[in-house]
Amino acid sequence: DVKVTQSSRYLVKRTGEKVFLECVQDMDHENMFWYRQDPGLGLRLIYFSYDVKMKEKGDIPEGYSVSREKKERFSLILESASTNQTSMYLCASTNSGGSYEQYFGPGTRLTVT
Amino acid sequence: RKEVEQDPGPFNVPEGATVAFNCTYSNSASQSFFWYRQDCRKEPKLLMSVYSSGNEDGRFTAQLNRASQYISLLIRDSKLSDSATYLCVVNPSNNAGGTSYGKLTFGQGTILTVHP
């Protein structure tokens, strides 16, 4: 079975802190994604990566950056956390080609106070 | 206009009922279509892909109408365990003609509650 893991299920940070969210997948997938999910807004794509060291902005990249140094690991970085970044963050991965089924991690619920 | 639009519901139905969800998408060049299911406080998981010819998986039937840019999901004989949020998902084409890298666009989801 595909497994996508995220470093934390719940995280509380203060405004202005630098926050790292990590995601690891074990299926050798090329493509990895970071989303945030908010009530009434659904899943919105923040960044994605289609190869090691390659990244592309999604729909809402402002205030975020990403890092992909190894194929299995994709990190989301909040350079200076703000209260409007309080959200559920979901990581996903998929292969290139094929059905494009995305496999999700369990999510990290981040609260910025 | 949103790329993928769904009626958010909620739909409250009794066990055994038949319920249908609809979804429209704006990008006529979209390539692939899916329904995902998300349980409360859990991650989304693929329920089924949607093919032009329509497809069925047990009590679930998905249909695609490319001309109308419309996708549907029918659930027959609803069970309590069907209670969840159902996400309509589209793999949009890359307008430059290149690969989409598996990017998906998610609808807001339709909440279904099945009660005894």
Q: What pLDDT score does A99 carry? A: 67
Q: Which residues pair with A47 in a beta bridge?
A: A34, A57
| Chain B closest-CA separation from residue A42 CA (Å) | 4
For the segment B59-73, the average pLDDT, to the nearest whole number, is 95
Of B43, B100, B102, nearest to A90 by CB-CB distance is: B43
**What is the model's pLDDT at position B103?**
85
**Mean of pLDDT values over A49-58:** 92
B43 and A48 within 8 Å at the Cβ level: the answer is: no
Residues B91/A100, Cβ–Cβ less than 8 Å? yes
Cβ-count burial A36-74 (b if 16+ within 10 Å, e if not): bbeeeebbbbbbbbbeeeebeebeeeeebebbbeeebeb
Quick one: average pLDDT of B9-24? 96
In order, the DSSP letters of B63-108 are: EEETTTTEEEEEE-S--GGG-EEEEEEEEPPPTTSS--TT--EE--
pLDDT attached to residue B30: 86
Scan residues 59-78 of B and list those with Cβ closer than 8 Å to A. Answer: none
Tell whether the model's pLDDT for residue B98 goes beyond 70: no
Judged by CB atoms closer than 8 Å, whether chains meet at A42 and B104 is answered as: no
- Is the per-residue pLDDT at A49 higher than 70? yes
| Alpha carbon distance A113, A107 (integer Å) | 19
A95 with B102: Cβ contact below 8 A: yes
Report residue B100 as tokens: 């989409």
Q: Which of A15-19, A21-25, B105-109 has the lowest mean pLDDT?
A: B105-109
Can you read off the two tokens belonging to residue A84?
A: 């409007």
Q: To the nearest whole percent, how much of chain A has pLDDT over 90? A: 84
Rounded CA-CA distance A85/A95 in Å is 29
pLDDT in tens, B22-60: 999 998 888 889 999 999 999 999 999 998 888 999 999
Q: How far apart are CA A89 and CA A112, in angstroms?
A: 13
C-alpha neighbours within 13 Å on the C-beta side of residue B72:
10
For the cut 60, the answer to whether the pLDDT of residue B97 exceeds it is: no
- Write out pLDDT tens, residues A86-96: 999 999 999 87
pLDDT at A101: 84
DSSP designation for A83:
G
Average model confidence (pLDDT) across chain A? 93
- Residue B106: list chain A partners with CB under 8 A: 35, 42-43
Higher pLDDT, B3 or B101: B3
Residue with tokens 């003609």, as numbered in its chain: B97
Q: What is the per-residue pLDDT for A9? A: 94
pLDDT of A33 reads 96
Question: What pLDDT is stored for residue B29 in this prediction?
Answer: 85
